[in-house]
Amino acid sequence: MGLEIRKTSKWWYGRWMKNGVRSFAKLNVPIEGKPGDAVFERSREAAQDALDKLIAGVKEQKRPEDMVQEIHRVRFGHRIGSIPLASLFEVWKDISRKRQPKDQYIQWTAGIFLRFQTFVKSEFPQVKEMAAVDRKVAESFMRSEQARGVSPKTYNAELILLRGAFENLREDAGMLSNPFGRIVSKDWDTVHRQPFTAEELRAIVDVVENDPLMRPLVIVGICTAMRRGDACLLKWNAVDLDNGFVTVKTSKTGETVEIPLLAMLREELMRQPKAKSGYVFPELAQMYLTNQNGINWRLHKVFEAAGFINEEEVTRRNIGRKRAGWAPLDIERRGDNQAERQKGAGLRTANVRGFHSFRVTWITIALTAGVPMELVRRVTGHTTADVVLKHYFRPGREDFKRTLENAMPRLLMEPSRPKALPPGSVKVEKNPKTELLNICQGMTAKSRKKDMERIAALLEGM
């Protein structure tokens, strides 16, 4: 804190520190005289007085958060507890939740919080507590993530995490607003999984017919729209064979869903012995709990065998097989299983044909057949219809056309009849038969005499 003289200015300047931030200001007091004389000392004293008043005014200024703290202290006798930025992750983990997040998600969030804390420590060293994080800090961090090259999907996931964390802890941290609340998410290209046709489903079922591990999983996926984890970990206490229902609490949303037993699934369940573990498919459950990648690999091979493989992949493999002296792949290709994303260079290709496609297929068939949305959501566990329509309802063009044709009034589906031409609008055609037809269609009581004369003239010339 002190006075400064700058070579390029005739005014006194002052400097001071507040909350670790250095500030400067012109004091509007002119530098007079020369160092050591009485005039110079009077101007210096005037500048010091101006600086003291400026600093006193700055100290009296309070942030909105400081005012909230003061009001809380007056009303309740103590200040709101602060949350150190270094403790953000641990405090966030202790938030009361309806359903605790999985370990894998916790590990991912730990990395995000650590990166945020490291960034703030480097770029904004004066920020030590959550209450000191303002919108400038939040926007700077998100810009750094974008510059780091994260995909729009990852950017949005990080933004949602930090926005939710600050919103949940805002009052405890003594914050008036959420610094991440007004940051806009990024648009990103969603590649939707495609539904299977009835013929494609039959091909997949034929592939797994003699596979005791994958057959139950595929049939459950086709008949229930359940997610892979819920299907693998299905227990007998969730199955009511007498009444024909499966009742499951989904692992992703925690919603309880009720699914009618279709004949194919009932037959598969009847083939399964009752295991002591309580799981309907104990080997599948064990593999899911210990080696999920193994299940993914097995499913990938099932879809490839059913003909879902990219043409480029078939070409690549056949080149290798030719070099090894092997015969080319004998695959009847039905469609791609991967699709390129349109946005975001460097992003992995999207899986458009996989286990989750069974869920898309079930929903698409149900909605196309006229099953009410509320019943579909009761089976799938979705809380809003928007999610179902945006991500899961993917009818094919022929199914879409056929459903509309069956639903629309018959009047709209019949070709309109040609209207009779008004009198006098008949054009002379080179073909006499065509002209005769036109005259007859346009004939009225008033034009009858004239039209008959024209017809007679045409007949004489034929």
pLDDT tens, residue by residue, 362-384: 888 888 777 777 787 777 776 55
Q: Is the pLDDT of residue 95 over 70?
A: yes
Task: Determine the average pLDDT of the residues in 427-445.
Answer: 62
Most confident region among 6-15, 170-179, 296-305, 405-414 by mean pLDDT: 296-305
Task: Determine the average pLDDT of the residues in 184-194.
Answer: 69
**142: exposed, middle or buried (Cβ count in 10 Å: 0-12, 13-18, 19+):** buried
- Beta 256-260 vs 245-249: how paired, if at all? antiparallel
Q: Which CATH architecture has domain 198-405?
A: Orthogonal Bundle (1.10)
pLDDT at 174: 77
Confidence of residue 212 (pLDDT cuts 50, 70, 90): very high
Give 22's strand partners.
Answer: 17
Residue type at position 237: N
pLDDT above 90: percentage of residues in the chain: 31
Q: Give the HSE-up count for residue 53: Cα atoms under 13 Å, Cβ half-sphere.
A: 10
Q: Is the pLDDT of residue 187 over 80?
A: no
Instruction: Report CA 283 to chain centroid distance, whole Å.
Output: 33
Task: Determine the average pLDDT of the residues in 392-420.
Answer: 49
Q: Is the pLDDT of residue 287 over 90?
A: yes
- pTM confidence score: 0.54
Confidence of residue 51 (pLDDT cuts 50, 70, 90): confident
Confidence of residue 180 (pLDDT cuts 50, 70, 90): very high
More confident: 172 or 66: 172
The C-alpha atoms of residue 131 and residue 173 are separated, in whole angstroms, by 6
Element (H, E) at 113: helix 103-123
Q: How is residue 57 written in tokens?
A: 């005014």
Q: In what order do the strands lie in the sheet with 21-30?
A: 2-5, 11-18, 21-30
Q: Is the pLDDT of residue 411 over 50?
A: no
The C-alpha atoms of residue 417 and residue 429 are separated, in whole angstroms, by 22
Asked if 43 and 10 count as a contact pair (C-beta separation under 8 A), the reply is no
Q: Is the pLDDT of residue 298 over 70?
A: yes
Helix count and strand count (H, E) for the chain:
20, 8
Q: Is the pLDDT of residue 461 over 70?
A: no
The C-alpha atoms of residue 231 and residue 236 are separated, in whole angstroms, by 12
Collapsing DSSP states into helix, strand and coil, what is residue 417?
Answer: coil
